[in-house]
Amino acid sequence: MADHTISRRRLLGTAGATGLALGAAGSAAGYAVASSDSADGSGASGAALTTLGTDEVMFHGKHQPGITTPVQSRGHLIAFDLAAGTGRKEAAALLRRWSAAAERLMAGKPVVGAGPDTDIARDAGPSALTVTFGFGHSFFGRTGLEKQRPAALDPLPDFSSDRLDKSRSNGDLWVQIGANDPLVAFHALRALQQQAGAAAKVRWQMNGFNRSPGATARPMTTRNLMGQIDGTNNPKPSDDDFNKRIFVPEKPDAADPAWMAGGSYAVVRRIRMLLDDWERLATKAQEEVIGRRKADGAPLTGGTETTEMELEKTGADGKLVVPLNAHARITRPDQNGGAAMLRRPFSYHDGFDAKGEPDAGLLFICWQADPLRGFVPVQRKLDRGDALSEFIRHEASGLFAVPGGAGAGEYVGQRLLEG
């Protein structure tokens, strides 16, 4: 099949010539005007590619893409179960196919090896596409690799707020797809599902979205479907302890096998927001539930979004300005023994239920070096008295070991499957 994909160099020549960068503060719309005539000879200029299309994330590296990559505007999460009779050898072949496909897709190239490319993403650039692979607890038993299963992958404890649908939870294999163009994202989803062939079948799949880059006058922390700024206190790669909190060290201790070096653990939760109930609250009541102002994300104790919250500050009535059960108070690392996780979620909307209420909320994804020191202690504390719990419902859950990135010529998980 001919490669119809426009090269990255050509993309940069058309769109990048404006000097605009993805996410640049205060930039204009970000469109580059093509000066060439149209193919039909009419002389009309064709639609120009934007800088969003040119952005490319590298597949190979120390860590897998899609963890520290800026969150994209479109996401797909999909879990697979290995087919009966599929073992270690077949799983290795599958990860080899998937890795090869992901490398081409992330470079804006069509996939090869599983029939003709669907052309869904034809004419588009890479659009910051990322593909991330992980292994579930059950994968190791199915492939005879139980001795290589990390202790950190033990099932999460039960939480009182859980209303989990087992058919939409867990799975042998997990794939996270993100892109800043919905067709590019769907193209990757479809390609990887086709590449699975007879080795694995889809267990569950979820679709998410975020605000598109450039939709606001300046780069901002994203908002969730409750209208709240979400992600203010996320760990930053510039933090001294970021790698320690988010990634398994290059020389893992006894709790992590060697193949997890440079990897991370992803907790995935489908959290439905009871929006009809939430939207009946006055703005002031919503802010007290969260502990932050809705307009700008600043703590109720004053300042801007990044101002440190004054937990002991009281108002004229003598009451704490930030209530004891406010979500932002409970989730602070200094209120949880330093527990921290990198949240990288997508919102979702799956229509309306029989009562006419929106089936919408958050595809919560968080990353940490150890879920027992990251997600679990925070969720336990939220379970005991978070004011937000009245307005949300955890409906699906998964925990996945995400190995480090693949080196040149390698595939993801090679150290596990061929070690």
The β-bridge partners of 188 are none
The β-bridge partners of 179 are 74
Q: How far is Cα 52 from Cα 50, in angstroms, rounded to an integer?
A: 5
Give tens-digit pLDDT for 178-206. 999 999 999 999 999 999 999 999 999 99
Q: How far is Cα 159 from Cα 386, in angstroms, rounded to an integer?
A: 13
> What per-residue confidence (pLDDT) applies to 49?
56
**Does 240 participate in catalysis according to the annotation?**
no
402, containing H or E segment: strand 392-402
Q: How far is Cα 251 from Cα 266, in angstroms, rounded to an integer?
A: 20
CB 326 within 8 A of CB 387: yes
Query: What DSSP state is assigned to residue 229?
Result: B
CB 278 within 8 A of CB 286: yes
- The backbone torsions φ and ψ at residue 160, rounded to the nearest 5 degrees and listed phi first, read -65, -25
Tokens of 387: 């004011």
> What per-residue confidence (pLDDT) applies to 128?
97
As a whole number of Å, the CA-based R_g of the chain is: 22
Which one from 81, 230, 256, 370 is the annotated catalytic residue?
230
CB 177 within 8 A of CB 75: yes
Q: What rounded mean pLDDT belongs to the chain?
A: 88
Chain centroid offset of residue 180 CA:
13
Give tens-digit pLDDT for 357-377. 999 999 999 999 999 999 999
pLDDT band at 38; cut points 50, 70, 90 = very low
